[in-house]
Chains A and B, each alone.
Chain A
C-alpha cells in the first residue's frame, strides 16, 4: 500500500513518518507538498507532527488553508484513512475533520517524554491490529496537547465510542497523574463518526524500533496496512 505524507513548510516529523512507513514497515510512501492538489493515489494519508506554519497563532490554524487540505477533506469524506499525529491532529481539529480544540499543556510547558496510552477502540483503520485495552508506551512531544471539547461534545465522543486512545497509568487506569497535559477525560486520540479519520497527540512513528526505546507505535501503521489489505476502509482514487 502507499502512504501519502503531507509536508507543510514547518512539518518536522515528516521524515520520521516516512521512515516508519517505508523503511521499518517496507510500504510505499510519498511526500506530498502542502501546495499540491493531488494525493498521488495514496491509500492512506498521514499529517505529520511539527509546526506547520510556525504556529505562532493557534497550532494548525493556518495549515487548514493549505491547498492540499481540500484533497485531504475529500479523501476523508470518501472514507479514506487519515492519521493526524501531534501537529497533524491539531490541524485536523482546525480543519473541522475532528471535533474539539487544543489548549496549552496544564504545565504551560513543552513536554517530551514517554507516556502510556490504552487502546479503547479497535474498529478504526489505525487500531485494527491492536487488542482492546492494550497499553502502548509511546512518546509525546508537544506544548499544546491539552484536548478540550464542550461537555456535550465529549459526551457524544464517549457514547459514540470515538475516543480511540486514552492516557493511563501502568495499571491501565485513566488517573489525573497519568494525564500528561490535562486533556479532558484523559483523551490522547480520537476518531470521527465515520471512524476513518484518527488524530492523536503521541507520536507512534517515534516508537517503531526497539533501539529507540519502544516499538509499540508500529501497530498503528500495521493496522492501516491490514485495513487496506482487508478492504475494511474505502479505497479512494
Chain B
C-alpha cells in the first residue's frame, strides 16, 4: 500500500516517522496499523516533545509509592494507606463542546484513579477562560462548569476546590485541568500490566461507537476556524455507567483474580492494550469482532481508535473468568472476553480470523519518537519584562483600585461555580471550596488531606523559570495554610505549539523551574499530563503550568481555613512585601498590561514558611491562614473578613515606589511567600518566637473586628472601606455576568 502525504497528514505523522514505522515493521503498515501508530505516537500519548525535559523532574521520595508511568501517582499517608492522585487536561474538547468536553475530562481522571485500585474521594479543577464580557466565553465557561458538575455530582465524588482565572489569550482555547484523588490500601495498588501467557483479556463498560476517533490526534494540533468541524471527535459522557464500572472494578480488585487493568482513555482500545502489553513485557491478541459495538459496520480501524467513554480493559487470571464475570453481572455490566495475553511481545489485532494488525508493543511505547525540539528565547521577553511605572498613567485612588480588583473575575468569589458542584458528598469535606485549600478527612484515621491546584500564566509568560517555581510555591503554600505538610505533586503543563522554538523554550525553562522548586521544597512529582498545541490561529495561550499539591495533616481537628475566627484576634503578616507589581492583577485590571518580571521567590524562606504554618496550626496558635496572591495584601485581608461579618484594621510598612505608585505597590503588589494569619491576642509573642526560630518574619499588624477594612501604611490610613460595601462587589461579581434569579440560602 502506498501512503500519500495527505493520508499521513490526516494521521498527524511526518514522512520521517512513517519511515521509522516501515523500518520497525519491516514492511508497509496496514491502514489499521497506521491508525494505531498515529495515536500512539501523537504528542498526547507519546509525550514526544516533552519527555526529554520531564525526565529531569524529581519523582522520588520516602513517601512515593508510585511515580510517573502508571495511570496515576501514589504517596504513603500512613495508617497503611496511599493517596493516589493525578491531574489531566481536557482543553481541546472543552472548547469544541464545553459540557461534554469537561464532563468526559472528569470521567477520564476518575478512571485513572480507580484503575489503580483506589476509591476516588475528591476532585478539584483549574480552569482558564477569556474575558466574561464576551458571550462566547460566558457560554464556554458556564458549559464547562455544568459539565464538571454534571459528571462529578452524579458519580458522587465531591469537587472540593480549584481555581479559575480569566485572560483574553484563553478565549479560543480554554484550559480545563481536572485533578482527582483517591485512597487505596498501601499494598493494594493495582497496575496497568498484561502478563501471564494465556490469561484472558476482558472488555467491560460502554459499547464502542464512532465517537472520539482521533481525539488524541486532535489534542495534538492547533485550532483554526474549521475546528468546530471536529465536533464528532469529542466524546459523550455517561456518569452512571462510570459509577457502575467504578463500583464493579473496585469489587473485582478485592479478589486476586485480576492481573492488570487500564481504562480506555485517549486512543481507546489501542493505548490500553499496547501500554498494558508493553509494561508487562508481554504480547496481547484481541479480536475486534468480539468488541461490543454501538453502531453497525464499524471497521477494525474505527474500533481500535474509538474514544467512546467508560470502557475498561482487564487482564484476568486463567480459570478465574467466571468469578469476574459474576461480579460485573451483579452491576448489570457485561464483561466480554476479547483476547489473550501472549508471549511474543506483539499486539495482534484480529477481525474474526483475519489479522488486521501485528505490531511490536514496545515500538508503540518505549520506541516512540522523542524529540529535542529546537528552542529559542522568545523575542517578546525583553520588551515585556521592562516595566517603567513612570510611563504609566497615575494610579487611581487606593479605594477605587481596591473595589475594581475585588470585582475582577479572577479575584472575585467563585461561589457561582462551586455552588453547582456537590462538594460535600461522602461527608469528608472539612474545608469547603472558596475557603482555601480543599480539605478532606480520611475516615478511620485522625488524618486529613489538603489539596490545592495553582498556577499563574502571567508570571510564567514573563519568566517561565521563576513563574513555574511560583506555581509550586503557591500550591504548596495553600495546603500549608490549612496546616498540611506538602508531600506530593502532580502537574499539568499547558503550552502552545512545541514546534515553535519560542514555545519550546518556555516549556523547557518552566520544567527547569518546577524541578528547582520541587527539590527545594521536597515535593516529588508523581505524574501528570502535558497539553501542547494550546493555540488558536497561531496565537498561544499564556504558558500555564498548573501544580496540584497534596498535603498531609496529622490531626484533622486542627485544620484551619481562610476566615478570621474571633473579634479581637491579632492579625499577623508572615513574610514582608516588596511592592512587586510585575505581572500583577493590578497592572492587568487597571492599566491593561502584562509586563515586568514576576515576584522574586526565595525558596528557603518559602520552605521555612511552610514549616511555620504546619507547626503553628498543629499547636493551635494559628486560628486562620490565607496566602497573599492575586491582588496582594489588601485583597487578602478583605478575603479573610468576607463571610465572617467582622472587619479588620492593619498597619503595614509603606513602600517606596516611583511617581505616586507607593500606596498601590504596598497594597496590591504580589510579593510571594506572604501569609496573613490570625492568632489569639495573648499568644502573639509565643507565635512570634516560633516564627523567629524558623527565620520567618512575623509582624503583628492589627486586629480583627469592627465593620470596616482599614489599612494604614506606616501609620497613615490609605484604605478605610465598609465591609458591607466591599463584600457584594466580590461575592456577586460573577453572578452579574449571568442574569439568573438569585436564591438566598
Contacts and interface: CB of A to CB of B under 8 A. Distances in A.
B740 to A, nearest CB: 6
Given A112-B420, A115-B745, A181-B743, A16 B425 contact: yes
Contacts of B426: 12, 15-16
Contact of A212 (B239, B419, B427): B427
A161 interface: no
Nearest to B240: A54
Interface of B: 146, 149-150, 153-156, 238-241, 243-244, 247, 331-332, 418-427, 429-430, 432, 441, 443, 556-557, 740-741, 743-745
Contacts, number: 108
A171 interface: no
Contacts of B419: 109, 111-113
Contact of A54 (B238, B420, B557, B745): B238
A24 to B, nearest CB: 9
A141 B425 contact: yes
Contacts of A2: none
Interface residues of A, number: 44
A106 B741 CA distance: 8
A55 B425 CA distance: 17
What 10 pairs across the A-B complex have the smallest Cβ distances? A12-B156, A54-B240, A177-B744, A141-B422, A16-B427, A51-B154, A115-B745, A180-B743, A112-B422, A113-B745
13 contacts: A9-B332, A19-B443, A51-B153, A51-B156, A54-B240, A107-B741, A112-B418, A114-B745, A177-B743, A180-B743, A208-B427, A212-B424, A213-B432
A55 B421 CA distance: 17
A175 B99 CA distance: 34
B244 A203 contact: no
B239 A54 contact: yes
B218 to A, nearest CB: 27
B424 A206 contact: yes
Interface of A is mostly: loop
A237 B233 CA distance: 55
Contact of B424 (A54, A141, A143, A179): A141
A13 B424 CA distance: 10
A205 B443 CA distance: 15
A12 B424 contact: no
Nearest to A24: B427
Interface string A40-84: 000000000111011110000000000000000000000000000
A207 to B, nearest CB: 9
A211 B441 contact: yes
A154 interface: no
Interface of A: 9-13, 15-16, 19-20, 49-51, 53-56, 106-116, 139, 141, 143, 169, 177-181, 203, 205-206, 208-209, 211-213
A12 B240 contact: no
Which of A20, A55, A106, A211 lies at the interface centre, i.e. has the most chain B CB atoms within 10 A of its CB? A211
Nearest to B119: A15
B424 A53 contact: no
Nearest to A23: B443
A30 to B, nearest CB: 17
Contact of B427 (A9, A19, A143): A19
Contact of B743 (A50, A56, A179, A208): A179
Nearest to B415: A113
Nearest to A203: B424
Contacts of B240: 9-10, 51, 53-56
A113 B741 CA distance: 16
B15 to A, nearest CB: 47
Contacts of A10: 154, 240, 243-244
Contacts of B744: 169, 177-178
A192 to B, nearest CB: 27
B427 A107 contact: no
Given A12-B155, A54-B238, A116-B745, 16 more contacts: A9-B244, A12-B426, A16-B427, A50-B156, A51-B156, A51-B243, A107-B740, A109-B146, A110-B149, A110-B422, A111-B420, A141-B153, A141-B425, A206-B425, A206-B427, A211-B557
Which of B238, B422, B432, B441 lies at the interface centre, i.e. has the most chain A CB atoms within 10 A of its CB? B422
A169 B743 CA distance: 11
Contact of A112 (B154, B332, B424, B743): B424
Which of A13, A55, A181 lies at the interface centre, i.e. has the most chain B CB atoms within 10 A of its CB? A13
A147 B312 CA distance: 39
A196 B745 CA distance: 28
Contacts of A49: 425
Contacts of A50: 156
A53 B244 CA distance: 10
Contact of A12 (B150, B425, B743): B425
A112 B156 contact: no
A205 B156 contact: no
B316 to A, nearest CB: 22
Contacts of A143: 153
